Amino acid sequence: MWRSIIDDWAQRRVARHRPDVRLAKWRAVRVAGIVLVVIGAVLDLLFAFTPFLLLRIFLMVISIPPLVVGVILTIVLSAKIAGLQRINPGLGKELASPPAPAGERRVARRIPRGEAGTTAGLDRDKIDKLKALFSVSERVKIDDIASMLGTSRKETIETLIVLSKTVTFQIREDVVIVNKGQTEELISELDKQFGEWETKEQAKSGKI
């Protein structure tokens, strides 16, 4: 029971620090900052057109805090968002590809590796997205990996179980835990496995 509670807490903590979650939060705060700037500007306009001295003083005093806070939030959050998007170029767009039509499993475009006889697997974009996922945290949801690969959750779990015999990582409930030093090896093995999946798909469809 306690282990389950701790795992749930850890997953929520990891989720809070995912780049897409942080980006959404920072954008929301930046919007709040812009709203504060607008409120401050409106109060300043009222101050400029109000003939009563006491009311003008009151409007001037209450317009300064939202204006200052709003400008600071907007500038700071814009810089943080730009920095996060430089580190993760795919952010701001949908990280996962659109779901495959019912009854079909999406297969990534194969890219040449430059060596005759080798099997290409994931395209470069998917590899980069997987690396971005694992660079954020050592704990990655299986659903996120499946989404990146374009495979079903069942296929992904079965593959991870097989790979866990040769690559050092843990599968705990719906999370994969990978040590930083093992990330490249796991992605490489997933890449190879994806190439095998694609070869089977082509064999079924009669393309090879």
Domains of the chain: which residue ranges?
2-87, 124-205
- Could you tell me which of 143, 139, 170 has the C-alpha nearest to residue 11? 139
**HSE value, Cβ hemisphere, 13 Å, CA-based, for 79:** 5
pLDDT of residue 12: 56
Is the pLDDT confidence value at 18 over 70? no
Give the whole-angstrom CA distance, residue 194 versus residue 151.
9
- For the domain made up of 124-205, give the CATH fold: Arc Repressor Mutant, subunit A (1.10.10)
| pLDDT tens digits for range 34-61 | 999 999 889 888 888 888 888 888 888 8
Statement: the pTM of the whole predicted model exceeds 0.75: no
pLDDT in tens, 132-184: 777 777 778 888 888 877 778 888 888 888 887 777 778 877 788 887 777 77
Report yes or no: 132 and 90 within 8 Å, Cβ to Cβ.
yes
Query: What sign has the CA pseudo-torsion 149, 152, 154, 158?
Result: negative
| Rounded-to-integer distance, Cα 19 and Cα 162, Å | 29
Contact 121, 191 (CB under 8 A): yes
Mean pLDDT of the chain: 71
